[in-house]
Amino acid sequence: MAVSFVTTSPEEEEAKPKLGLGNIQTPLIFNPSMLNLQPNIPNQFIWPDDEKPSIDVPELDVPLIDLQNLLSAPSSTLEASRQISEACKKHGFFLVVNHGISEKLISDAHEYTSRFFDMPLSEKQRVLRKPGESVGYASSFTGRFSTKLPWKETLSFRFCDDKSRSKSVQDYFCDALGHGFEPFGKVYQEYCEAMSSLSLKIMELLGLSLGVNRDYFRDFFGENDSIMRLNYYPPCQKPDLTLGTGPHCDPTSLTILHQDHINGLQVFVENQWRSIRPNPKAFVVNIGDTFMALSNDRYKSCLHRAVVNSESERKSLAFFLCPKNDRVVKPPTELLDSITSRRYPDFTWSMFLEFTQKHYRADMNTLQAFSDWLTKP
């Protein structure tokens, strides 16, 4: 599997893709409604042969964890923690159902995702993601990378589980787009609060499965400073040449994903890509690099990607749980002994986030590259 190290430099800035006629050059803009009128996709979206997608892949068998009354039923909790432990040692993916999140809230979140991405490009660009930042609208990351561009649009914003910033999401939409977007802000504020609460419940199970105090990770992620991302994958006339999201491991701690009804998520397990079928009643949960460091490599942050198709658009809602920015990431003492040495140096989430935004394009080796970067002379 190919990996790539990306540094930000003046040379890279000059190498960013340019399209135009004659001597007039304009930056490449990902506008799928225009690009899909062309017989071919631009070369910047074509992936190398060894990374081109395979649509028809076998399904991944992931455990389905029923959260209803889970933490109050010892036998069910024990079985769930066993299933989670097995999955996280192998690939880090599992599903949760009976999670307590209302169907209406999930439906509203998808509806407002459609409304946002249906807006004219000029309107979406009002919240354009700035270089080196992790929030805002991104049009296929054309301003950041020059090759292997993903066939997608995203909108990312921060969620702070901090009483002093209790309306951080709602304020973002109103401040960035105007008070007419207050309904968007209210829905995503409520959705993020629900995701934060759900993620802390899952952290209790992860703690139990690792043999540490059930409150350890829940407390660690109190006042979390997380990221919410809306993903939109338009239809593509050449889906066999490009990817919606390239192969990567999430640098964050825990991802809680809700897919719409279109298949697209694939996970690399045992040297083979496998799909995770959409389930409207379930959330897909996966371990990220930061939690892999917290578990001292016991749990895996697994390579995954998203494919596109020529028939249907696809949407997903991704909540990335992250620690408070200045919290030091290191494994609990229960996971260390005279035999098990530390796999990664101490770091804060803000340091890791900056590394992924300014120095490195996320892939299967992000955490190791970051560790090497931290410890280099």
Q: Which residues are catalytic?
A: 314
What is the 8-class DSSP label of residue 341? -
- The candidate with the shortest Cα–Cα distance to 223, out of 200, 248, 252, is 200
Q: Which helix (H) or strand (E) holds 241?
A: none
CA atoms within 13 A on the CB side of 224: 28
Burial (Cβ within 10 Å: 0-12, 13-18, ≥19) of residue 81? buried
Q: How far apart are CA 65 and CA 230, in angstroms?
A: 24
| Contact (CB, 8 A) for 332 and 296 | no
SS3 (DSSP) at 232: strand
- The full length of the chain comes to 377
Beta bridge partners of 254: 287, 321
> Which residue type does 173 have?
F
Q: How far apart are CA 233 and CA 313, in angstroms?
A: 6
